[in-house]
Structure 1
Amino acid sequence: MFHPLRVSEVEPLTDDAVAVTLAVPPELREAFRHTPGQHIALRRRTGSGEEIRRTYSICAPAGPDAALRVGIRLVEGGEFSTYAFKELAVGDVVEAMEPTGRFVLEPRAGYFAAVVGGSGITPVLSIAATLLIREPTARFCLVRSDRTVASTMFLEEVADLKDRFPDRFQLATVVSREERRTGLPSGRLDRERLTGLLPALLPVADVDGWFLCGPLGLVSGAERALRGLGVERARIHQEIFHVDEAPSAAVAAATPGARAPAHSTLTATLAGRSGTWPVREGESLLETVLRGRADAPYACKGGVCGTCRAFLVQGEVSMDRNFALEPEETDAGYVLACQSHPATAEVELDFDR
């Protein structure tokens, strides 16, 4: 469900990024209480009536009175990011969906680490800050990659963590497009480099949880490096922020299925109510549901954010691509409605599970 929230602050972060804070009224504070690492979907309607939705991670530490603050980077051709960067002002109203997402860390004692690229710092900032504030024995190592120092989001917030928790917060920064006199050499953080870098920074085997966030190339390279270093899959958590196109490895991670039947029907349960609709040729199951239920959850429609996750109750589907669900989720029967097509005459989804 979307709620109209008023913008209380728009703070420039870099030449192409802003932090936007939304005022949450008392009656909605419980609904918008977030777990560190979660995101919200924002919606606006253009002058022509077109609806635009985008998902942005919450960067503020979690807590009863936590601010609802998100980081937004300007994307070339991006309708919502352009609007947020160039037009959004204090006092404007934006529609926001309640926090969701499974790229999270409930604060607990332990040793945690993250590898992030660009705006992938946003959810990890909330994760690290909340952990260090709440758990006096917890430690966190952040390895971040950016194009240049000037393009680095949340420089002050990360520096503040380093100042407040010098013995428990470790930071390693790499820039890819400029030379630095101090720190790590410039260049991309690919699988080969991370395989050598990570063991030099921290005891890889002692880390209780790894959080990888950013562009597909960085996240997939970091995951392969960690697996090569002996890290169990269960300790690796990832969230993709940007996908140019679906490479073969990512397509293979989706759910294959039989050729679509000539005629099929979809039954879907959403917010306690069920409906049945015929699936039109070529449309995704999300598009089928949206024809009958405008309140169906979605944001990116690209298989990245996971907002449209649903449980497959009956039938079979094929997914075009999947960058949001973990293997254990697909094994348990969850699919992305925006990427799913029927592979049997009858399919049933449950969005409430």
Structure 2
Amino acid sequence: MARFHPLQVAAVDRLTDDSVALTLTVPPELRAEYRHAPGQHLALRRRVDGTEVRRTYSICSPAPDTEGPSSLRVGVRLVEGGAFSTYALKEINVGDELEVMTPAGRFTLEPAPGLYAAIVGGSGITPVLSIVSTLLAREPEARFCLIRGDRTAASTMFLEEVADLKDRYPERLQLVTVLSREEQQAGLPSGRLDRERLAGLLPALLPVERVAGWFLCGPYGLVQGAEGALHGLGVDRARIHQEIFHVDSGPTAAGTASAAAHSTVTARLDGRGGTWQAQEGESLLETVLRNRPDAPYACKGGVCGTCRAFLVSGEVRMDRNFALEQEETDAGYVLACQSHPLTEQVELDFDR
């Protein structure tokens, strides 16, 4: 069960003009709870004018050993008007305490031999940095091709960290950088990594059919374009993993079915169950939160997947889904923050 604990800020490192890396100290008694897989994320929370604000940030540090991490590092990029990112860049100092949820997320890779690849844009490098560094350190028979797109060199997050990895594993890490607003002295011409460009670029860079896993991370448009290019190249959907950042708009994942006028929601959470009346227009998560404030969530936008739950019975309408893979929805999982009851009774299990 996901839980929040106060963690002390050990370092605040400026990465670019609009991004920082926060290093958090994990005390020995909490290290088992903060053990994480490469690619997982943390939810951070604070109160602003009496309102709780939660934001999700991917862990960029390598996955720890079995004892758990002594520290965690996350990357934060400033979002215009962002309640948490503005606070992180302008106010957080070494020694401050932040409320941090235990790790979550399924955009992960268990180290194994083989060839892997990632297509990332902007801050999408953050979870992939953890994936790449863990994979290459633990599995000598693994190789990785990292294709990253950024606006300019000055706006590129974790530039030095990626360069260090390339120096450490020159034969096993292939690095391709594309800048959309700046010409490079060497390498590919400037421009965006859209579907058409990737469809021509990828076969020239690596044997697409031999890649065991593709990891797509970044803005909605980049991830959708990369996925389309891979489908066009014959890559099986099971080998494509994606995590979307910065969804301003996008298609809904469901039809137009109307929510039930009167519905009760039963939920099992941390071993305890309860049944409550849903109020008109609210999501399943909102119903549960009114009665169980400890229900897990972070973004409430269908992006992070923290509120993932198993639909035991009943039917729901899920408005948006940018977090669950097709296999998960086929198995019966839903995002509680985006789901509305279509039947008079709905039962969820957050523990499954």
In 1, Cα distance between the equivalents of 2:322 and 2:64? 29
Aligned to 1:170: 174
In 1, Cα distance between the equivalents of 2:47 and 2:26? 21
Structure 2 counterpart of 1:35, from 29, 34, 37: 37
Residues 1-353 of structure 1 aligned to structure 2 (within 5 Å): 1-46=3-48, 48-64=49-65, 66=69, 67-247=71-251, 251=252, 254-256=253-255, 258-353=257-352
In 1, Cα distance between the equivalents of 2:185 and 2:109? 35
Secondary structure, in 3 states, of the residue corresponding to 1:27?
A: helix
1:183-238 CA-partner distances (Å, limit 9, x unpaired): 11101100000000011111101110000000000001000100110110000000
In 2, Cα distance between the equivalents of 1:246 and 1:112? 28
Residue 15 of structure 2 aligns with an amino acid whose one-letter code is L
1:123-175 CA-partner distances (Å, limit 9, x unpaired): 00000000000011110000000011000000111001110000000000001
- Structure 1: runs of 5+ lacking an equivalent: none
In 2, Cα distance between the equivalents of 1:352 and 1:43? 22
Structure 2 vs 1, CA of residues 311 and 256 (structure 1 numbering), >3 Å: closer, same or farther? farther
Residue 74 of structure 1 aligns with an amino acid whose one-letter code is L
In 1, Cα distance between the equivalents of 2:91 and 2:310? 38
Structure 2 vs 1, CA of residues 256 and 333 (structure 1 numbering), >3 Å: closer, same or farther? farther
In 2, Cα distance between the equivalents of 1:160 and 1:140? 15
Is residue 268–residue 349 contact of structure 1 (8 Å, CA) maintained in 2?
yes
1:10-60 CA-partner distances (Å, limit 9, x unpaired): 0000000000011000000011011000001001112x3211100000000
Is residue 264–residue 342 contact of structure 1 (8 Å, CA) maintained in 2?
yes
Q: Following TM superposition, by how much is the alpha carbon of 1:181 offset from its aligned partner in structure 2, in angstroms?
A: 2.4
Is residue 257–residue 317 contact of structure 1 (8 Å, CA) maintained in 2?
no
Is residue 257–residue 316 contact of structure 1 (8 Å, CA) maintained in 2?
no
Residue 53 of structure 2 aligns with an amino acid whose one-letter code is I
Residue 86 of structure 2 aligns with an amino acid whose one-letter code is T
Secondary structure, in 3 states, of the residue corresponding to 1:195?
A: helix
Is residue 269–residue 352 contact of structure 1 (8 Å, CA) maintained in 2?
yes
Is residue 257–residue 343 contact of structure 1 (8 Å, CA) maintained in 2?
no
Residue 312 of structure 2 aligns with an amino acid whose one-letter code is V
Secondary structure, in 3 states, of the residue corresponding to 2:170?
A: coil
In 2, Cα distance between the equivalents of 1:49 and 1:24? 27
Residue 56 of structure 1 aligns with an amino acid whose one-letter code is Y
Q: Following TM superposition, by how much is the alpha carbon of 1:257 offset from its aligned partner in structure 2, in angstroms?
A: 6.7
| Number of equivalences | 347
Residue 268 of structure 1 aligns with an amino acid whose one-letter code is A
Secondary structure, in 3 states, of the residue corresponding to 1:148?
A: coil
Is residue 255–residue 317 contact of structure 1 (8 Å, CA) maintained in 2?
no
Q: Following TM superposition, by how much is the alpha carbon of 1:182 offset from its aligned partner in structure 2, in angstroms?
A: 1.5
Secondary structure, in 3 states, of the residue corresponding to 2:63?
A: coil
Secondary structure, in 3 states, of the residue corresponding to 2:60?
A: coil
Residue 220 of structure 2 aligns with an amino acid whose one-letter code is L
- The alignment yields a C-alpha RMSD, in angstroms, of 0.9
- Structure 2: runs of 5+ lacking an equivalent: none
In 1, Cα distance between the equivalents of 2:229 and 2:335? 27
Secondary structure, in 3 states, of the residue corresponding to 1:71?
A: strand
Q: Choose 19-28 or 66-75, whichever is displaced more.
A: 66-75
